[in-house]
Each structure stands twice: as structure tokens, then as C-alpha cells.
Chain A
Amino acid sequence: MASGKIVKTFITPLGKENPVFVQILGICSTLAVTNKLENTIVMTLGVIFTTTLSSFTFSILRKVIPARIRMMVETLIIATFVIIVDIVLKAYMPDIWQQLGPYVGLIITNCIVMGRMEAFAASNPPGLSLIDGLSSGIGYAYVLIIIAFFRELLGSGTIWGFSVFGDWWSNWAIMIMPPGAFFMLAIFIWIVKGRMAE
């Protein structure tokens, strides 16, 4: 396998084929956690872990699995890794686990995970699938982290819980509330797509 292919597999999901702003996948479960940077980072780590290992596992099994049950096997694999994330968070980071609530479980239905398994891992060897899963996860993570950064900054005047603006700043409550997430993502897509079109 040429190393060029590995690099290409790694780079594509970060920009040209970014799961969030190009393919518009996986927005469901995670817009909700982007109003605080800390939660977002833990959540995206969970997603990276899940996409990487699910793609890898599924790629190993891809030749054994009959077509009829492919979707079910995919779901089962994803669910297993998500439960592992959930249990680990519950045991080692109980505070964050409580705040994330059901959103950890919703990684299962995050379209990115399943999308990468269907589109890539189903027809590529394990090594490449691992890289593809990893970089899709990272491509997803950095977009969310940027959004969370601005939402927390404008909405609470803090970064990672530390106050940066001081008393004169009045919080834009809308940034923390649901509409803020929609607007932030729309603006982000606007900027990126505008740049890409040039």
C-alpha cells in the first residue's frame, strides 16, 4: 500500500469531504453539547473513539457478514463501543457524564459513524478504515470545537469555564440556547463554503 493513499485517506475527511460542513452528517447528537467547550471535547473524543474502532472492527468482519444483516451488525458494533465510552465516563468522569446525559448514547445514531462504515470500511482493508474513521472523527471534532468555542465565549463570556470578558460583558443568552447552535453552524458553513467556492 502506497503511503500516498494513507495520507490521502487521512486528509480528505478533514477538508474536502468533511462530514459536518460538506456531507452535513452527524449534526443531531452534538449540536446540543456545543454550548460548553469542556463537554464538547469529551463528546468529540467519544465520537473519535467510536468511529475509529467501529470502522476498524467492521472492516475486519466485512467478508464474513452476510448482506442481510449488515446494518444490524454495524449497529451492534457501534453500540458496543458507545457503551464502553459510557461506562468509562461514568466510572472516571462522573461529573461530565451527568452533564452529557443521553447524548453519549446518541453517538450510536450519529450518522457519521454508520456513514463511514457503509461508505468506506465496507470495501477497504482494516488499516485504511482505521485511518478513515480516525480522520472523520477529527474532521467532525474540530468543527464542533470551533463552534463550541464561540458559543461559550459569546453566550457565557467564558472559555473552558474561565471568565475572559469580565463584568462589562453581557451574555448573549441566545448563543447558549438552541437557535444559537443553528445560527453558528450556518455561519460556519457559509464561511467555509464561500472560501471553497473561490
Chain B
Amino acid sequence: MNADMMPAAIFFGAIFTGNILLSNYLGMCSFLSVSKEIKTSTGLGAAVIFVMAVTTLLNWIVYHYLLIPLHLEYLRFIVFIVVIAAFVQLVEMIIERVSEGLYAALGIFLPLITVNCAILGVSLFMVIRNYSLVSSFFYGLGSGVGWFLAILAMAGIRKKIAGASIPKGLEGPGITLIIAGMMALAFMGFSGMINIS
């Protein structure tokens, strides 16, 4: 474990310099399809922040207290995805019973999340980079916030350009990818400002 890796630095680094979407391309599928509207983007973004932070924490605990002692590290792909799927199911059930308003706002996005690569990606990165429990939590939280920011910005831009005339082949995914590229460029400007380790 690395003492130099401060949770706060990891948190801000995960939002800006190492944005999970713009620098690791994770969560692209739902990003491209959902970013058409600001409202749905906000809902999905919020759900991602929540699920990412909690599942990263859960997966850290499972990995370090269950898989490592049993020497089953190689099963981590299955175990992580099961933890994520089970957690998402559980949350969906709880929200459905507790608050209808919240279910209407978040509930419909939860099934989309299990297949959001960013969630699993964060858990896998946390293992490879050997983060501590606290760092992992902040890494998950920061990545979620970063993803939220990116999809919100994209939804806003797409709304602005909705009436613009775009070359035929570029409509839809094409222009979205170009905007994502420019956003990635802009976010790269943050590197150097924040020192992730």
C-alpha cells in the first residue's frame, strides 16, 4: 500500500485528470444513448455515483477479506459482477418499497447500471492499483462524480446543437464522439493541476 496516495487527491484526480469516461472510455454505451436529455442524464448520473461508491467499497471488502485469504483472486471477475448485480437488485427493491418518487427518478436506471462497464472497471482498477479501503471508496465516489459531470455536460451540449445542421454521416453517435473527444481534450487540461498520487 502506498502512503503517498491521499484519498483527497485520488478523489479529485478521478473526477478531473483521470475521468473514467473520458480517459478510460468506460461507461460509453449508456453515455452515448442516454445523453440525449438532461433530465434522464441527471437521474442516471446520480444512480451511477451512488452505486459506484458503494460497490467499490463492497468489492474491496470482499476481495481483501474473502478472495485473498482463500486464494481465489482469479474468480474476482465473477464475484465482482455478482456483487454489483446483487447490490443493484437490492437497491431497486428497497427504493420501490420506500419511496415512489425516488423510484420514478432513479429506479428505472438501475437495471442499466449492471451493464455499465464503468462500475466494474472501477472495482478492477482499484485492485490493480492496490488502493486502501478509504482510497478505494473515494476513488469510486470520484469516478462516479466524474461520470456524472461528463454526461451532464454532454447532455447540455447535445441540447444546444439539436437544431444545428450536421454533416449527414456525423449525426447522432458521430458528433457525440467528436464532442466527447473535445471534452477529453479539455479535461486533459486539468492534468498537472491535480496530483493523483
Are these two chains actual partners, yes or no? yes
**B93 at interface, CB cutoff 8 A:** no
Interface assignment of A169: CB less than 8 Å from any CB of chain B? no
Enumerate chain A residues within 8 angstroms of B177, measured Cβ to Cβ. Answer: 182-183, 185-186, 189
- The answer to whether B121 touches A191, judged by C-beta atoms less than 8 angstroms apart, is no
- Contact across chains for A179 and B29 when beta carbons are under 8 A apart: no
B182 A179 Cβ-Cβ under 8 A: yes
Per the bound structure, the CA–CA distance linking A83 and B24 in Å amounts to: 21
A83 proximity list for chain B (CB < 8 A): 74-75, 77-78
A189's closest neighbor in chain B, by CB?
B174
Measured in the bound complex, the distance between the Cα atoms of B116 and A114 in whole Å is 12
Closest residue of chain A to B122, judged by CB? A102
How many residues in B have their beta carbons less than 8 Å from beta carbons of A?
45
Residue of B nearest to A194 (CB): B169
Tell me the A137-192 residues at the B interface (CB within 8 Å).
174, 177-183, 185-186, 189-192
Q: Which of B32, B124, B169, B185 contacts A27 (CB 8 A)?
A: B32
Interface string of B12-35 (1 = CB under 8 A from A): 000000000011111111001100
Query: Which residue of A82, A179, A181 has the most chain B CB atoms within 10 A of its CB atom?
Result: A179
- Give, as a whole number of angstroms, the nearest-CB distance from B68 to chain A: 17
Taking a contact as CB atoms under 8 Å apart, the answer to whether A25 and B120 are in contact is no
Task: Report how far A63 CA is from B99 CA in the complex, Å.
Answer: 36
A32 to B20, CA, bound (A): 11
Nearest Cβ in chain A — how far from B10, in angstroms? 16
- The answer to whether B25 and A194 have CB atoms under 8 Å apart is no
Q: Which residue of B lies closest to A85 (CB)?
A: B77
A180 to B85: give the CA distance in the assembly, Å: 33
Cβ contacts under 8 Å, A125 to chain B: none
Q: Which of A24, A25, A80, A110 has the most CB of B within 10 A?
A: A24
The count of chain A contact residues (Cβ–Cβ below 8 Å) is 47
Chain A residues 89 to 119 lying within 8 A of chain B, measured CB to CB, are 101-102, 105-106, 108-111, 114
* A109 engages B115 (CB within 8 Å): yes
A106 to B76, CA, bound (A): 12
A16 close to B (CB within 8 Å):
no
Give the docked Cα–Cα distance between A174 and B182 (Å).
11
The majority secondary structure among interface residues of chain B is: helix
Inter-chain residue pair count (beta carbon < 8 A): 134
Contact B25–A186 (Cβ < 8 Å): no
Residues of A within 8 A of B23 (CB): 178
CB distance from A102 to the nearest CB of B (A): 4
Q: Which of A28, A105, A195 contacts B27 (CB 8 A)?
A: A28
CB-CB nearest in chain A for B186: A179
Whether B28 contacts A86 by the Cβ 8 Å rule is no
Given A111-B29, A111-B115, A178-B22: A186 and B178 within 8 A (CB)?
yes
Separation of A75 and B113 alpha carbons in the complex (Å): 13
**Pairwise interchain contact B168-A194, C-beta atoms closer than 8 A:** yes
Chain A positions 14-41 with a Cβ under 8 Å from a chain B Cβ: 24-32
The reply to whether A190 and B170 contact each other, CB–CB distance below 8 Å, is yes
Name the 7 nearest CB pairs between A and B, nearest first.
A182-B181, A193-B169, A194-B169, A102-B124, A109-B117, A186-B177, A28-B117
A positions within 8 Å CB-CB of B: 24-32, 71-72, 75-76, 79-80, 82-83, 86-87, 101-102, 105-106, 108-111, 114, 174, 177-183, 185-186, 189-197
- Additional 17 contacts, C-beta under 8 A, given A72-B82, A102-B124: A24-B173, A28-B118, A29-B26, A29-B121, A31-B25, A31-B28, A75-B82, A82-B77, A106-B117, A109-B121, A178-B23, A179-B181, A186-B170, A189-B169, A189-B174, A189-B177, A193-B170
